[in-house]
Structure 1
Amino acid sequence: MDFPFMTKLAAEFFGTAIMVILGNGSVANVELKGTKGYRNGWIIIAVGYGFAVMVPALMFGSVSGCQINPAMTLGLAFAGDFPWSQVLPYISMQLLGAIVGQAVIVACFKPHYDLTEDPESILGTFSTICATKSHLYAFINEYFGTFVLIFGALAITHSPIFDHGNQGAGFIGIGLLVMVLVTSFGGPTGPALNPARDFGPRLLHAILPLKHKGFSQWDYAWVPVLAPICAGISAALLYKAIFGL
Structure 2
Amino acid sequence: MSSSDIFASEVLGTMVLVLLGGGVCAAVSLKRSKAFAAGWVAIAFGWGFAVLTGAYIAQSSGAHLNPAVTIALALKEGKGATPWSDVPVYLGSELLGAMLGAVLVWLVYYAQFQVTLREPDAVEMKDANPGPAHGVFFTSPEVRKPWLNLLTEVIATFVLIIAILTQGLVKDVDGTVGLGKLGALITALVVVGIGLSLGGPTGYAINPVRDLGPRIVHAVLPLPNKGGSDWSYAWVPVVGPLLGSAIAAGVYNLAWG
TM-score interval, smaller chain: over 0.9
| CA–CA distance in structure 2, aligned partners of residues 150 and 16 of structure 1 | 17
Matched residue, 1:230? 243
Matched residue, 2:5? 7
| CA–CA distance in structure 2, aligned partners of residues 165 and 59 of structure 1 | 19
Corresponding letter in the other structure for 2:112: H
Q: Deviations over 1:201-239 (max 9, x none)?
A: 000111112012111000000000001001101101211
| CA–CA distance in structure 2, aligned partners of residues 217 and 159 of structure 1 | 42
Corresponding letter in the other structure for 1:59: I
Which consecutive unaligned segments of at least 5 residues does structure 2 have?
126-130
Q: Which of 192, 204, 228 is 1:179 aligned to?
A: 192
Matched residue, 2:33? 35
TM-score, with length taken from structure 2: 0.89
- Residues 68-217 of structure 1 aligned to structure 2 (within 5 Å): 68-80=65-77, 81-117=81-117, 118=122, 120-161=131-172, 163-164=176-177, 166-217=179-230
Contact residue 157 and residue 163 of structure 1 kept, 8 A? no
User: How far apart are residue 180 of structure 1 and its match?
Assistant: 0.8
SS at match of 2:109: helix
Contact residue 57 and residue 171 of structure 1 kept, 8 A? yes
Which consecutive unaligned segments of at least 5 residues does structure 1 have?
none
Deviation larger for 134-143 or 94-103: 134-143
Q: Deviations over 1:172-211 (max 9, x none)?
A: 1001000111111111111100001000000011111201
Query: Are 2:255 and 1:242 aligned?
Result: yes
The runs of 4+ residues in structure 1 deviating greater than 3 Å are 117-121, 161-166
Query: Are 2:216 and 1:218 aligned?
Result: no
The structure with more radius of gyration? 2
Query: Are 2:55 and 1:57 aligned?
Result: yes
Pair 59,209 (structure 1): closer, same or farther in 2 beyond 3 Å: closer
User: How far apart are residue 143 of structure 1 and its match?
Assistant: 0.6
Corresponding letter in the other structure for 1:77: A
| CA–CA distance in structure 2, aligned partners of residues 166 and 223 of structure 1 | 32
Corresponding letter in the other structure for 2:40: W
Pair 55,158 (structure 1): closer, same or farther in 2 beyond 3 Å: farther
Q: Percent identity?
A: 37
User: How far apart are residue 121 of structure 1 and its match?
Assistant: 4.4
User: How far apart are residue 104 of structure 1 and its match?
Assistant: 0.3
Contact residue 167 and residue 178 of structure 2 kept, 8 A? no
Pair 213,163 (structure 1): closer, same or farther in 2 beyond 3 Å: farther
User: How far apart are residue 74 of structure 1 and its match?
Assistant: 1.3
Contact residue 169 and residue 178 of structure 2 kept, 8 A? no
Contact residue 98 and residue 196 of structure 1 kept, 8 A? yes
Comparing both structures, which one devotes a greater share of its residues to helix? 1
| CA–CA distance in structure 2, aligned partners of residues 182 and 135 of structure 1 | 19
Contact residue 23 and residue 48 of structure 1 kept, 8 A? yes
User: How far apart are residue 43 of structure 1 and its match?
Assistant: 0.8
Deviation larger for 190-199 or 154-163: 154-163
Count of residue correspondences: 241
Corresponding letter in the other structure for 1:132: V
User: How far apart are residue 151 of structure 1 and its match?
Assistant: 0.5
User: How far apart are residue 46 of structure 1 and its match?
Assistant: 0.6
